A and B are shown apart, each in its own frame.
Chain A
Amino acid sequence: MTFLGRLLGREGIAKSSGKVAKERLKFVLEYDRARLTPAQLEEIRDEIISVISRHVDIADRGVEVTLEEGGRLVAEISLSDRQIAGNVRVSKR
């Protein structure tokens, strides 16, 4: 924030509360409209971990499931360093 801006007593880097309101609304409505709760997303995440782990080694907290704008459910899976280095053997059941 510029010196003069601070002098004038206005918020600088901080987002305006109107913008924050709109972003929060968009987030909450994605869940409302999809009839999903953050808790359900956790459940989905856990199940994805158990399925993917049968094939590859996943990093700690390596799965992130998010609901994005327009009803896109996105799962991002990060492999563990061991998996990437190639020194892991996953036993297929």
Chain B
Amino acid sequence: MERSDMARVITVTSGKGGVGKTTTTANIGVALAKRGLRVVVIDGDIGLRNLDVVMGLENRVVYNLLHVIRGTVDAERALIRDKRVDGLMMLAADQHSEKDDVSADEMVQVCDALRASFDYVIVDSPAGIEQGFRNALAPADLVIVIATPEVSSVRDADRVIGLVEAAGKPTPRLILNRIKANMVARGDMMDTEDVLDILRIELLGVVPEDEAILAATNRGEPVALDGTTHSGRAFANIAARLEGENVPLLPLEAAPQGLLNRLSGFFRSVDHDAEGRGGAA
């Protein structure tokens, strides 16, 4: 992919809270930086700062986004360098202000000022569709929508996709998060195709539910730092796709199919067939 000398601004959003926006932001940032790119991740969740702890940089926050906006310090002084990966920086949110203390124009100005020094500016949007979301959306060249395979999350994602398009931004790309292969295999979870069939946007990646993510977050070490975990590989693939590479999806490692599983799966399909013919269920 031809690289311009100006960064691409990516906003990570979801509508619904708790689906993994911040963790995804941190890990995409790490995965892109590991490819040798210059990346800054910005915590757009003003008043509920969290990107710093997910990245394990909480002890080094002196200045934050609001200081930069108010002109207290230059952006360079507020950025925290992640010493584990070359080229990765973080800009924290202010913990004691509110979303309305920042305007969309101010977010655009801050991101624009960072474009010349980075390849990627990644903004972690707060949950919801109010001012904080609109601020995070304003500077975006590309929006990534995170959804988990649940009714509430996909419904909110659909709403957010509509709002992003209404704001004149390109159609977002989807990351399907926390998919559980064993639940999909037994029919108790919507799979990637189900969600794509409903949302009808381009898929950027699928991240499996992985205990390694929780353990890594406990330590403040984004899982993408360690490329050996399943989820870490998923984030590396997402970074590659952002860079224009055509990387196939990782196979969801389904639970091993024992004889009983296969047998009951067979009976289940027979039953479904009968249901289809009978009409009423």
A19, B268: Cα distance in complex, Å? 14
Tell me if B35 counts as interface (CB < 8 A to partner A): no
Contacts of B189 in A (CB 8 A): 17-18, 21
What range describes how many residues of B lie at the interface? 20 to 34
A37, B275: Cα distance in complex, Å? 31
Beyond A16-B188, A29-B198, whether A24 also contacts B271 by CB under 8 A is no
Say whether A28 contacts B155, CB under 8 Å: yes
User: Which B residues, 18 to 54, have Cβ-Cβ distances below 8 Å to chain A?
Assistant: none
Counting chain A CB atoms within 10 Å of each CB, which of B268, B275, B281 scores highest?
B268
The interface residues of chain A, by DSSP majority, are classed as helix
A11, B267: Cα distance in complex, Å? 10
Q: Which residue of A lies closest to B187 (CB)?
A: A16
Contacts of A29 in B (CB 8 A): 155, 158, 198
Contacts of A18 in B (CB 8 A): 149, 183-184, 187-191, 194
Say whether B191 contacts A33, CB under 8 Å: no
Name the contact of B151 in the complex, choosing from A8, A16, A21 (C-beta under 8 A).
A21
A76, B155: Cα distance in complex, Å? 28
Say whether B187 contacts A4, CB under 8 Å: no
A2, B270: Cα distance in complex, Å? 9
**Which residues of A are interface residues toward B (Cβ below 8 A)?**
1-2, 4-5, 8-13, 15-19, 21-22, 24-26, 28-29, 32-33
Q: Which 4 A-B pairs have the closest CB atoms?
A: A16-B187, A5-B267, A8-B264, A10-B264
